C-alpha cells in the first residue's frame, strides 16, 4: 500500500485513498483491499514501534515499515499507516498479508503492556450489524460466520447445543436470519455487498474495505462511533485494575507495600458450577488459548469458584473468585490493561454475553458480608 509523501490528517488521508488509482495504491499486492485494525492504547503508543520499525511522520499519519523473513526465506517489509483516532484509538491501515502482520505488528502488540487489540463484545457487534442493515436496506450479505449465543437469540432446534456456522452465498442475509431463528446463532464476522458498499467486519476489530470509495469509509467511521464510548469505558476500567508496589521508609526500615485495585465482572445471568467448568474447558480450545488456569477450586451449592489465571502471551497472572452474581479479578504479576480487556472479552464470548466490568467495590462487598 503506497500513498504520496505529504502532510495528512485522517480526512485527507482517506480522501487520497479514495481519489488515487488502486493500481498505484496497491501496486505489488494481490488484492485492492484496505484492512483497518483498531487497537486500545495510550498517548505514547508510538514508543511501541520505535525499536524494530522504520517510522516516517506524514502529518497526523505515521508510515510504519516492519521487516521479517517469510516462509520462503525472502526479506519482506510490510507497510502500515497509523493514526491515533480521536485521541483514543489507534488505527492501522494496511494491505499486507496476515502472515506479514503476524510476524510484525502482532508480535509487537503481544509484547506490549500499553497496547492491545480492540475486541468487539457480542452486543456491540450486533449493534454494528443492525446499523449496516438499517442504513442500507437493500444490502446483501455474501458470507458470514455465526455462533450460538443464547442470550442474544433463541433457537427452535436443539437449543442446548453449542454451534458455529460458516456460510458463503449471495442469499446470506436471508440465510443468516433463518439460522438465527432455527439455530439461535448470531454473526461474529460478516461481509456486506451493495451498489457501492463492499465491506467486511470481524469481532476482533478488523474492518476490510474491498473498495476504496467514500461510501465504505463513511460506513467505517459510522460503525466505530457507534461502539466507541463503550469500548473506551472498558479500557478505562481495565487500566485502573492494577497491582503496584511502593517503598516507604520508617526510621531505619524501608518497607515495600502492595497497592491493589481489583476489578469485578457482574453477570447478567446466574453463574453456576457447570458454567464454571465449561469456562475453564473453553479456555483450552484453539480460539482461546491465551489463558490457562491453575489452583482451580470449585464447589456447588452456593457457588464458590476460584483460580489463578495466566496470560500466556504477556506472561501476566491474576486471581479470580466468583459467586453466582459476579467474578472478582485481583491482579498479581505484570497484569496490565490489555490482559484484563482480553479476559473480559473471553467472559462475554463463553460465559455471559451481557456481563459488565467495573472496579471492585470493597465497601459494598464488606456491607454484604456483614449484613
User: Which CATH number do you get for residue 97?
Assistant: 3.30.70
282/344 same-domain check: yes
- Res 348 pLDDT > 70: yes
In a domain, 4, yes or no: no
Q: Which residues, other chains included, contact 110 with Cβ-Cβ below 8 Å and sequence gap of 6+? A: 313, 314
Residues above pLDDT 90, as percent of the chain: 73
Q: Which residue has the higher pLDDT, 299 or 201?
A: 201
20/138 same-domain check: no
In a domain, 267, yes or no: yes
220/200 same-domain check: yes
In a domain, 324, yes or no: yes
251/364 same-domain check: yes
- Res 222 pLDDT > 80: yes
On the CB side of 164, CA atoms within 13 Å amount to 6
Q: Could you give the number of structural domains in the chain?
A: 3
E strand or H helix at 236:
helix 214-240
Rounded mean pLDDT, 121-141: 95
pLDDT digits (tens, 9 = 90+) for 12-23: 999 999 999 999
From 66, 96, 117, the end of a domain falls on: 117
Find the domain containing 36 and state its range.
10-117
In a domain, 1, yes or no: no
pLDDT bracket for residue 246 (50, 70, 90): confident
pLDDT at 286 (0 to 100): 54
Q: Which residues, other chains included, contact 181 with Cβ-Cβ below 8 Å and sequence gap of 6+? A: 156
Helix axes 337-350, 273-282, angle to 10 degrees: 120
Residue 33: closest CA among 22, 45, 24, 41: 22
- Res 365 pLDDT > 60: no
- Res 241 pLDDT > 70: yes
pLDDT bracket for residue 29 (50, 70, 90): confident
Rounded mean pLDDT, 339-344: 94
Q: Which residue has the higher pLDDT, 302 or 288?
A: 302
Residue 337: closest CA among 236, 246, 251, 186: 236
276/196 same-domain check: no
Rounded mean pLDDT, 158-182: 94
- Res 366 pLDDT > 60: no
In a domain, 38, yes or no: yes
pLDDT bracket for residue 288 (50, 70, 90): low
- Res 368 pLDDT > 60: no
In a domain, 25, yes or no: yes
On the CB side of 234, CA atoms within 13 Å amount to 27
pLDDT at 369 (0 to 100): 36
310/272 same-domain check: yes
From 117, 146, 176, the end of a domain falls on: 117
163/192 same-domain check: yes
pLDDT digits (tens, 9 = 90+) for 182-196: 999 999 999 999 999
Residue 138 Ramachandran class (φ > 0 left, ψ -120 to 50 alpha, else beta): alpha
Rounded mean pLDDT, 115-140: 94
In a domain, 311, yes or no: yes
Q: Which residue has the higher pLDDT, 216 or 29?
A: 216
pLDDT at 259 (0 to 100): 83
Give the chain's count of helices (H) and strands (E).
10, 21
| 190 contacts 141 by C-beta, under 8 angstroms | yes
75/174 same-domain check: no
E strand or H helix at 277:
helix 273-282
Average pLDDT, the chain: 90
pLDDT at 119 (0 to 100): 84
19/111 same-domain check: yes
In a domain, 66, yes or no: yes
99/175 same-domain check: no
308/344 same-domain check: yes
Rounded mean pLDDT, 22-28: 88
pLDDT digits (tens, 9 = 90+) for 136-168: 999 999 999 999 888 788 889 999 888 999 999
Query: Can you tell me which residue has the cell 463503550?
Result: 230
**CA angle, residues 189, 287, 351, in degrees to nearest 5:** 85
From 237, 257, 278, the end of a domain falls on: 237
126/233 same-domain check: yes
pLDDT at 328 (0 to 100): 97
pLDDT at 362 (0 to 100): 62
**CATH number for the domain including 256?**
3.30.160.110
Query: Can you tell me which residue has the cell 504477556?
Result: 314
Determine the Cα–Cα distance for residues 162 and 303; give it in Å rounded to an integer: 24
Cell numbers given for 289? 488459548
Amino acid at each position: 500500500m503506497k500513498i504520496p509523501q505529504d502532510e495528512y490528517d485522517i480526512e485527507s488521508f482517506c480522501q487520497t485513498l479514495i481519489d488515487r488509482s488502486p493500481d498505484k495504491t496497491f501496486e505489488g499486492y494481490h488484492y485492492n483491499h484496505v484492512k483497518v485494525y483498531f487497537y486500545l492504547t495510550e498517548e505514547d503508543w508510538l514508543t511501541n514501534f520505535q525499536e524494530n520499525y522504520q517510522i516516517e511522520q506524514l502529518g497526523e499519519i505515521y508510515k510504519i515499515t516492519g521487516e521479517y523473513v517469510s516462509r520462503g526465506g525472502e526479506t519482506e517489509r510490510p507497510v502500515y499507516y497509523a493514526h491515533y483516532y480521536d485521541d483514543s484509538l489507534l488505527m492501522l491501515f494496511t494491505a499486507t498479508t496476515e502472515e506479514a502482520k503476524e510476524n510484525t505488528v502482532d508480535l509487537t502488540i503481544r509484547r506490549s503492556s500499553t497496547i492491545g487489540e480492540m475486541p468487539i463484545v457480542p452486543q456491540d457487534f450486533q449493534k454494528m450489524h443492525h446499523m449496516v442493515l438499517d442504513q442500507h436496506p437493500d444490502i446483501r450479505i455474501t458470507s458470514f460466520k455465526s455462533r450460538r449465543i443464547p442470550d442474544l437469540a433463541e433457537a427452535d432446534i436443539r437449543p442446548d447445543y453449542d454451534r458455529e456456522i460458516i456460510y458463503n452465498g449471495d442469499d446470506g442475509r436471508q440465510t443468516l436470519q433463518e439460522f438465527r431463528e432455527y439455530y439461535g446463532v448470531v454473526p461474529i464476522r460478516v461481509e456486506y455487498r451493495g451498489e457501492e458498499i463492499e465491506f467486511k467486519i470481524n469481532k476482533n476489530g478488523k474492518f476490510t474495505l474491498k473498495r476504496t470509495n467514500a461510501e465504505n469509509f463513511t460506513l467505517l467511521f459510522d460503525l466505530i462511533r457507534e461502539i466507541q464510548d463503550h469500548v473506551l469505558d472498558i479500557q478505562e476500567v481495565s487500566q485502573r485494575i492494577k497491582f503496584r508496589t511502593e517503598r516507604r521508609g520508617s526510621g531505619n526500615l524501608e518497607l515495600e507495600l502492595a497497592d491493589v485495585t481489583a476489578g469485578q465482572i457482574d453477570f447478567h445471568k446466574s453463574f453456576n458450577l457447570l458454567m464454571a467448568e465449561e469456562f475453564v474447558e473453553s479456555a483450552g480450545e484453539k480460539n482461546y488459548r491465551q489463558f490457562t488456569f491453575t489452583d482451580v477450586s470449585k464447589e456447588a451449592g452456593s457457588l464458590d469458584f476460584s483460580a489463578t489465571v495466566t496470560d500466556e502471551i504477556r506472561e501476566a497472572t491474576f486471581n479470580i473468585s466468583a459467586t453466582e452474581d459476579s467474578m472478582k479479578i485481583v491482579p498479581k504479576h505484570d497484569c496490565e490493561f490489555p490482559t484484563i480487556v482480553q479476559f473480559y472479552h473471553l467472559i462475554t464470548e463463553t460465559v455471559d454475553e451481557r456481563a459488565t466490568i467495573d472496579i471492585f467495590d470493597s465497601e459494598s462487598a464488606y456491607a454484604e458480608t456483614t449484613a
